Amino acid sequence: MWAVRVSKSFSAAHFISGKESKCENMHGHNYRVEVTVGSKDLQPPGMVVDFVELRSRLESILPDHRLLNEVYNFNPTAENLARHFYNEMAKFYPVLKITVWENEDCCAEYSPD
Ligand SMILES: [Zn+2]
């Protein structure tokens, strides 16, 4: 089986409700989102998917320079963002996994099983 992965960065603000910590205060992250797509077969000329198309689709769903709490009706943790981005990308590609990096040290991953 093959897997291909592309990544794209975006910047956004959020605050996390329901946890008494500094995360309750509005702050920003330079997020990086990775999408991994898998296939047992290659499409001509020998690709799982076109990297440019995949990355363009990923970019189209990322809420760049937005306040995530206003964009979504869920608490915008990295975990919830990963599941949301999975659901969006899985409409178009056989996605294996989404990884959301909040910074260079911390990430959350979502895959459907
Ligand atoms: Zn945060």
Query: Does the pLDDT at position 63 exceed 90?
Result: yes
Q: How far is the CA of 28 from the centre of ligand 1 (A)?
A: 6
| Across 40-67, average pLDDT | 97
Q: How far is the CA of 88 from the centre of ligand 1 (A)?
A: 22
| Across 36-49, average pLDDT | 96
String of DSSP letters for 4-41: EEEEEEEEEEE--TTS-SGGGS-EEEEEEEEEEEEESS
The predicted pLDDT at position 50 comes to: 96
The predicted pLDDT at position 20 comes to: 84
Q: How far is the CA of 22 from the centre of ligand 1 (A)?
A: 9
What's the predicted TM-score (pTM) here? 0.95
The predicted pLDDT at position 45 comes to: 94
CATH 3.40.640.10 fits 2-110, yes or no: no
Q: How far is the CA of 111 from the centre of ligand 1 (A)?
A: 21
Rounded to 5 degrees, what angle do the CA atoms 64, 68, 73 make? 135
The predicted pLDDT at position 24 comes to: 93
C-beta of residue 61 within 8 angstroms of C-beta of residue 29? no
Q: In the chain, what are the domain boundaries?
A: 2-110
Query: Does the pLDDT at position 19 exceed 90?
Result: no
